[in-house]
Structure 1
Amino acid sequence: MLLVDDQPPFLRAMSSVVEETAGFEVVGEASSGEESILAAAVLLPDLVLMDVNLPGVDGMEATRRIRRAQSPPVVLLLSTHDEGAGAPFVAECGAAAYVTKSALGPDRLVEVWTSASA
């Protein structure tokens, strides 16, 4: 899994959630949309946890570009915006789902992965 966030505390929080979730492993981290696009092309993760608000190329545009790959990863958008605000984000960029950062936990991660992989 590739973790993408421009704020180190959120990267640490995402990493902790992944560590607590059986069957998942962090293969890389990025702090900008540009870095995430390059990292996804090199690391070929199955899943990307992508912050919506990033400097430069934002998370939605980075997701669009990552999803154009021949075998694209599942992308889960994350933000501090309310859960209801995520539907337009998902529809616009091809992400599998949107979860607020405060709601991300092992159960939610497995739930999103399971429904995206079905």
Structure 2
Amino acid sequence: MTPGARIRVVIVDDEPMVVRLLTTIVEAAPDLEVAGTAADGAEAAALVERERPDIVLMDLRMPGVDGLAATARIRARPDPPIVVVLTTFDADGLVIEALRAGADGYLVKSTPPGELVDLVRVAARGHTVLSPVAKDGLLSASAAVRDERRRARARLSELTGREREVLAAIGDGLSNAQIAARLYLSEATVKGYVSGVFDKLGCANRTQAGLLAKQAGL
């Protein structure tokens, strides 16, 4: 995204009332604009191809091509936009699958307008976004959380102690600069650690790494 440019947002939801509400919230922010809206996943993928937005606010539960499939399709693009999934439920089991499909964050639709706008800005800067109510309930949404933790910890076995510290900080939603301050490292050093962690764990982005950290109980 070009510095100083408005953040272009695509809204995807099959409920017209929700689309109107989100459009009003986004358009009220001076640095955001709605690049288009879609009512299902197939329409969303075509819209992203045409408009090249910065952010996609993606409903999960839609007829036809749902938000999960649409997220995977959009994130498979060579230069994909950021995808933040939206759901009515703060313990929606599909959220974990959406994050695995490449979504960059998760917000419940009841997120207050001001907070939602702020989190869209945070997402546009490349950071993980999880609304407070979502963060607390995310792992409890999985019926197999114990198995998830066991498998996650096994994946972390290749990490060094410092890499585990960096991964834990990513799980807390910290930026590279914030991790550097926490661990008394240079930001360039942290960037190297983050890249190494992603390579070892096979994570595509900070959200996937952060989810793995939470699953492992870091």
Q: TM-score, normalised by structure 2?
A: 0.50
Q: Which has the larger radius of gyration?
A: 2
- One-letter code aligned to 2:66: D
Question: Do the aligned partners of 2:12 and 2:37 also contact (CA within 8 Å) in 1?
Answer: yes
SS at match of 2:32: coil
Q: Percent same amino acid at aligned positions?
A: 37
> Which residue of 72, 81, 92 maps to 1:85?
92
Deviates more, 1:62-71 or 1:13-22: 13-22
SS at match of 1:18: helix
Q: Taking structure 1 as reference, are residues 43 and 104 closer, same or farther at Cα in structure 2, changes over 3 Å only?
A: farther
Higher strand share: 1
Q: Deviations over 1:44-93 (max 9, x none)?
A: 000001100011111011011101111100011001011x4365144322
Comparing both chains, which one has the higher relative contact order based on Cα–Cα distances under 8 Å and sequence gaps of 6 or more? 1
Q: Taking structure 1 as reference, are residues 96 and 31 closer, same or farther at Cα in structure 2, changes over 3 Å only?
A: same
C-alpha separation in 2, matches of 1:7 and 1:115? 24
Aligned positions, number: 117
RMSD over aligned CA atoms reads: 1.8
Q: Point out where structure 1 has 5 or more consecutive residues left out of the alignment.
A: none
- One-letter code aligned to 1:12: R
Q: Point out where structure 2 has 5 or more consecutive residues left out of the alignment.
A: 1-8, 127-218
Q: Taking structure 1 as reference, are residues 27 and 50 closer, same or farther at Cα in structure 2, changes over 3 Å only?
A: same
Higher helix share: 2
CA apart distance, 1:37: 0.6
| Stretches (4+) displaced over 6 A | none
C-alpha separation in 2, matches of 1:108 and 1:30? 19
Q: Match of 1:105? A: 113
User: What does 1:28-43 correspond to in 2, within 5 Å?
Assistant: 28-43=36-51
C-alpha separation in 1, matches of 2:68 and 2:28? 27
